[in-house]
Amino acid sequence: MASTHAPRCDSADLRRQINELADYLCGAVQGNFDLLAVVDTEDEDMQKLTMMVNFVLESARRAVCELQQREACLRSVLETAAEGILTANSDGIIQTCNRAAAAMFGYEPEEVLDRPIEMLMPDAVALTHRMQVERLLAQPATVSVPAREVTARHQSGRLFPISLAVSQAETRQGRMFTAIMRDLTEEKRMQCELAQAQRLESVGQLAAGIAHEINTPTQFIGDNLRFLHEGFQELQAIMAACGRLVEAIDKGAVQAEQLRDFAATWRGSEADYWRREFPSAIQQSLEGNERVASIVRAMKEFSHPGVDTPVLASLNDAVRTTVTVSRNEWKYVAEVELHLDPELPEIECLPGPLNQVILNLVINAAHAIEKVLPRASAEKGTIHISTSSGPDSVELRVSDSGCGIPPEIRDRVFDPFFTTKEVGKGTGQGLAIARNVVVDKHGGSISFESEVGRGTTFVVRLPLKQRQ
Amino acid sequence: MVGLIPNLLLKLIESAAGPETVAAVLRQAGIPLERRYGLNRVYPDEEWQRLYAAARDLLGLDEDRAEAMFAEFFVQDALARFPRWFQMCRNSYEMLCLQPKIHNAFATGCSAAAARRVLNDKFRTVSEPHRLIVEYRSPNRLCGLYVKLARCIATHYGDEVDLAERECVKWGANRCLIEVAWRRLLHG
């Protein structure tokens, strides 16, 4: 008679089967997931156990396979990432390094693995690096360091700027740090070029106005010189008559004829007129000359030769200079009022870029005023420029009585290439460069207050000293 | 065919009609009386088909009735034998999503890769929220059993389902396509 009841194993069989299953599990522990547990048994419970072991092995095999695929995918993402990505343990030993990171520093990835991360830093940074790691280790692993600019060291010894963001995670090997880096060398060069281009654009824009500014005094200096030349020709006749008279006096034989001749010459001339007019013509010419000289001086100061390191300079002088060179840009639409703090201390700054900031603000102010003035009107607005000092900074305010900045674009005015000006009047780089110069290059701040229809005030704050 | 199915069928016959009927079924199917179906072994599909036909014939059950009885018995046995599978799932949706894996777990006992692949390819599922499409390919044509098992499992979890067979090999299709849609899940 057929029975569906399977025969039971004896204990020796059971031990053998359990040992066989244990062998399969040991194999899996050693990473061999491809084996299938095949246990020769009629015992249904043992069959079930075998099946479960196989199920676990299969699940583990799939999980490992999935993990390997994910790891391969992640590795591929890391390897193809444009950003340099490396990980280091809490001892600062590099654990992984993608190709971009290695290339950034001039190495092959395997050349940096298992080596201290300080090899990628200049000595001065390496000295403080350990302290920074200790600070991070004292904080929860969720704390990350947002991207900031730091100096890195290339294999060749060349120092170069990078953007560095650090995150951390707790792993079984302890705290692990992930650094995401971007080489800023090219970006910096582009920024410089952009700033230079904008400066050249400004110079070009100012050139016509400056020519006009120089032309006016040159014109009246010329007129005065012609006037003096004409007067001098008459004076030469008088002087010749005087000479002859003096000669006669020296000989002791002054004759009445000679005296009459001199008197006729004198009366025939406009000597009184020249005597009255010459001083003012000379004075005007000197003033004109001084005006030209001051414009040339301002232009020279404005085009301050680029310096890489900050120098002590007067913000008030920068304001005066810029107002002078830009006169033709604002004089038809605005009066400029200066309220410069006479006690303003000199600041450590890059004078050339700073002049550019003031120029951009003044030109923007003039354009804002121009927008609200009726066409062909003699009416003018006001640009008010003031300086003041605080305990460790100076402040520059440039206010205009122009159109104001509409609220909907206020968060974009510092964006590069953002402009509301008509084509040919602005490229949208002025305020972006101003921000770059003030914030990035000087560690200062730039902000504005604006009321539509009333005007705008830009406030620039600059530290007295630059951080090393 | 994994051995669990014929194993359970014989148990069902024995519990319903006694060991003599089991022997009669095996004889009619031309299967040796001493055959013991191991849960995790694989047997020829054709042998199962003979066994199932003989069982229905000798028990006088039409296909629908036979499937209903077998499904009921199958689920009760599974609940007793594999309670963890059921505890792992919060509801019948999760259980039916897991079902192909469980089915394939039985197949893992088969060391012949080709036979294992055939078993693994029998069920494919596409899961959507509150909906499961099951593609079943097997010469054993147990799609009806699947539908009844699915209903039993839903009842076990207290869920409400609509079951519909969209395609069937019995209608000339090359596969069976079963749609399970949940009207209500008691848990989750």
Statement to judge: residues A162 and A248 lie in one domain: no
Mean pLDDT value of segment B67-78:
94
Contact between A54 and B38 using a beta-carbon 8 Å cutoff? no
Give the pLDDT of residue B50: 95
Would you call B8 an interface residue with chain A, using a CB distance cutoff of 8 Å? no
Domain that holds residue A36: 11-77
Could you tell me if A1 lies within 8 Å of chain B, comparing CB atoms?
Answer: yes
Q: What percent of chain A has pLDDT over 70?
A: 91
Backbone angles phi, psi at A322, to 5 degrees: -65, -40
What fold characterizes domain B82-184? H-NOX domain (3.90.1520)
Q: Indicate if A339 and A356 belong to the same structural domain.
A: yes
Residues A273-278 have a mean pLDDT of: 86
Do A440 and A317 lie in a common domain?
A: yes
Q: Which of A303, A331, A359 is the last residue of a domain?
A: A303
What is the nearest CA distance from A54 to chain B, expressed in angstroms? Answer: 6
Q: Is residue A103 less than 8 Å (CB to CB) from chain B? A: no
Is B30 an 8 Å CB contact of chain A?
Answer: no
Kindly state whether A34 is in contact with chain B, defined as any CB-CB distance less than 8 angstroms: no
Q: Give the nearest partner residue to A48 out of B22, B23, B39, using CB atoms.
A: B39
Report the chain A residue with the minimal C-alpha distance to residue B82: A48
C-alpha–C-alpha distance, residues B74 and B71, integer Å: 5
Structure token digits, residue A24: 């399969």
Residue A425 pLDDT: 60
Longest CA span, chain A:
179
The reported pLDDT for the residue numbered B164 is 94
Sign of the CA dihedral running A19, A22, A27, A32: positive
Mean predicted confidence (pLDDT) in B29-33: 95
Q: Is the pLDDT of residue A313 over 70?
A: yes
Q: What single string gives the DSSP state of each residue in A204-225?
A: HHHHHHHHHHHHHHHHHHHHHH
Mean pLDDT of chain A: 85
- Counting one residue from chain A and one from chain B, the pairs whose CB atoms sit within 8 A come to 66
ipTM for the whole predicted complex goes beyond 0.90: no
Pick the residue of A4, A52, A59 with the most B CBs within 10 A to test the interface with B by mutation. A4
Nearest CA in chain A to B111: A36
Contact B166, B144 (CB under 8 A): no
Q: How far is CA A150 from CA A123, A322, A446, B2, B77, in A?
A: 13, 33, 23, 65, 68
| Contact B85/A at CB under 8 A | no
What is the structure's pLDDT at A139?
83
Q: Do residue A153 and residue A249 come from a single domain?
A: no
Q: What is the per-residue pLDDT for A381?
A: 93
Query: Which chain B residues are closer than 8 Å to A47 by Cβ?
Result: 3, 38-41, 109
Which among A1, A48, A54 has the least Cβ separation from residue B23? Answer: A1
- Considering the domain architecture, whether residues A284 and A313 belong to the same structural domain is answered as no
Tell me, yes or no, whether A96 and A160 share the same domain. Answer: yes
Which residues from chain B sit within 8 angstroms of residue A55, using beta carbons?
Answer: 101, 105, 108
Of the pLDDT bands very low, low, confident and very high (cuts 50, 70, 90), residue A468 is low
Number of structural domains chain A divides into = 4
DSSP H helices, B36-142, are: 45-59, 63-81, 83-88, 92-107, 113-120
Q: Residues of B with CB below 8 A from A7's CB?
A: 36
| Residue type, position A434, single letter | A
Task: Decide if B88 touches A, using CB distance below 8 A.
Answer: no
Tell me how close the Cα of B77 comes to any Cα of chain A, in angstroms. Answer: 13
**Contacting residues for B183 by C-beta, under 8 A, at least 6 apart:** B160, B161, B162
pLDDT score, position A97: 92
The CA distance from A116 to B66, in Å, is 73
Chain A positions in Cβ-Cβ contact with residue B101 (cut-off 8 Å):
55
pLDDT mean over B50-76: 94
Give the other-Cβ count within 10 Å of A62's Cβ.
12
pLDDT tens digits along A318-366: 999 889 888 888 988 999 999 999 999 999 998 888 888 998 899 999 9
Band the pLDDT of A235: cuts 50, 70, 90.
Answer: confident
How confident is the model at residue A260, as a pLDDT? 86
**Band of residue A288 on the pLDDT scale cut at 50, 70, 90:** confident
Min Cα separation A19/chain B (Å): 17
Q: Would you say residue A191 lies in a domain? A: no
Domain definitions of chain B by residue range: 4-61, 82-184
Q: A157-161, A193-197, B8-12: which has the minimum mean pLDDT?
A: A193-197
Asked if A6 has any chain B CB less than 8 Å from its own CB, the reply is yes
Helix axes A44-80, A11-29, angle to 10 degrees: 0
Judging contacts by C-beta atoms under 8 Å, the chain A residues touching residue B13 are 4
> Is B91 in the A-facing interface, judged by CB distances under 8 Å?
no
Cβ–Cβ < 8 Å for B121, B114: no
CB A245 within 8 A of CB A254: yes
Query: Cα separations (Å) of A89 from A96, A170, A181, A315, B3?
Result: 10, 10, 17, 48, 53
Q: Supply angle C-alpha A213, A219, A221, rounded to 5.
A: 110
Residues A201 and A280 in one domain: yes
Contact A308/A338 with Cβ under 8 angstroms?
no
Residue A106 is which amino acid?
Answer: G
Residues of B with Cβ-Cβ distance to A36 under 8 angstroms: 108-111
Query: CB under 8 Å to A400, separation ≥6 — which residues?
Result: A334, A364, A365, A366, A368, A369, A381, A382, A383, A384, A455, A456, A457
Does the distance separating the beta carbons of B104 and A58 come in below 8 Å? yes
Ordered alpha helix ranges (H), A81-122: 99-104, 109-112
Beta bridge partners of A88: A94, A177
Instruction: Inform me whether the pLDDT recorded for A424 exceeds 60.
Output: no
Q: Is B109 on the interface with A (CB under 8 A)?
A: yes
Among A150-164, A168-182, B99-113, the range scoring the smallest mean pLDDT is B99-113
Are A416 and A395 members of one domain? yes
Q: B72, B156 in Cβ contact below 8 A?
A: no
- C-alpha to C-alpha distance for A462 and A216, rounded to whole angstroms: 36
Q: Which residue of B has its CA nearest to A37?
A: B109
Q: Specify if A2 maps to a domain.
A: no
Q: Which residue of A has its CA nearest to B41?
A: A47
Of A89-98, A218-227, A408-417, B6-15, the least confident: A408-417
User: Which of A303, A336, A356 is the C-terminal boundary of a domain?
Assistant: A303
| Interface residue A131 vs chain B (CB under 8 A) | no
pLDDT in the model for residue A50: 82
Chain B residues whose CB is inside 8 A of the A52 CB are 105
CATH code for the domain in which residue A115 is found: 3.30.450.20
Euclidean distance between CA atoms A68 and A130, whole angstroms: 34
In a domain, A465, yes or no: yes
Determine the average pLDDT of the residues in B163-180. Answer: 93
What are the E-state strand segments in A72-198? 84-89, 94-97, 145-153, 159-171, 174-183
**Residue A457's domain is classified under what CATH number?**
3.30.565.10
Task: Mark whether A139 and A68 lie in a shared domain.
Answer: no
Which residues are within 8 A (CB) of A432 and not within 5 positions of it... i.e. 6 or more apart?
A414, A415, A416, A417, A418
Residue A114 CA from chain centroid, whole number: 36
Question: Would you place residue A426 in the very low, low, confident or very high pLDDT band (cuts 50, 70, 90)?
Answer: low
Looking at residue A281, what is its pLDDT?
A: 87
Based on the fold, state whether residues A378 and A395 are members of the same structural domain: yes
Which range among A29-33, A214-218, A383-387, B178-182 shows the weakest confidence by mean pLDDT? A29-33
B33, B40, B110, B117, best to mutate vs chain A, most A CBs in 10 Å: B40
Q: Please indicate whether, in this complex, the C-beta atoms of A55 and B105 are within 8 angstroms of each other.
A: yes
Q: Is A51 on the interface with B (CB under 8 A)?
A: yes
Find the helix or strand (DSSP H, E) in which B24 lies. helix B19-29
Summarize the confidence of residues A49-76 as an average pLDDT: 85
All residues of chain B having their beta carbon less than 8 Å from the beta carbon of residue A4 are: 7, 10-11, 13-14, 19, 22
Domain end: A303, A321, A354, which one? A303
- Identify whether residues A287 and A424 lie together within a single domain: no
Q: Of A31-45, A451-465, B20-34, where does mean pLDDT reach its minimum?
A: A31-45
Domain assignment present for residue A3? The answer is no
CB atoms < 10 A from the CB of B38, how many? 23
| A363: Cβ contacts below 8 Å, ≥ 6 apart | A202, A205, A326, A329, A330, A430
The predicted-structure confidence for B107-121, as pLDDT tens digits, reads as follows 665 555 666 666 777
Span of A225-229, A421-425, A426-430 with lowest mean pLDDT: A421-425
**Burial class (CB within 10 angstroms; exposed 0-12, middle 13-18, buried 19+) of B153:** buried
User: Which of B19, B40, B82 is the closest to A47 by Cβ?
Assistant: B40
Q: Which residue has the higher pLDDT, A179 or A12?
A: A179
When scoring B34, B82, B108, B110 by the number of chain A Cβ atoms within 10 A, the one with the most, hence best to mutate, is B108
Contact B19 A47 (CB under 8 A): no
Q: How far is A29 from chain B (nearest CA, A)?
A: 18
Confidence band (pLDDT; 50, 70, 90) for A394? very high
Q: How far is CA A123 from the centre of its chain?
A: 26
Percentage of the residues of chain A whose pLDDT score is greater than 90: 29
Token readout for A144 is 């990350």
Is the pLDDT at A151 greater than 80, yes or no? Answer: yes
The three-state DSSP-derived secondary structure of A189-208 is: HHHHHHHHHHHHHHHHHHHH
Amino acid at site A189: R
pLDDT digits (tens, 9 = 90+) for A189-209: 887 777 766 666 666 767 777
Q: What are phi and psi of A152, to 5 degrees?
A: -115, 165
* Per-residue pLDDT band at B135 (split at 50, 70, 90): very high
CA atoms of A395 and A462, how far apart (whole Å): 6
A42 touches B at CB < 8 Å: yes
User: Are both A346 and A255 inside the same structural domain?
Assistant: no
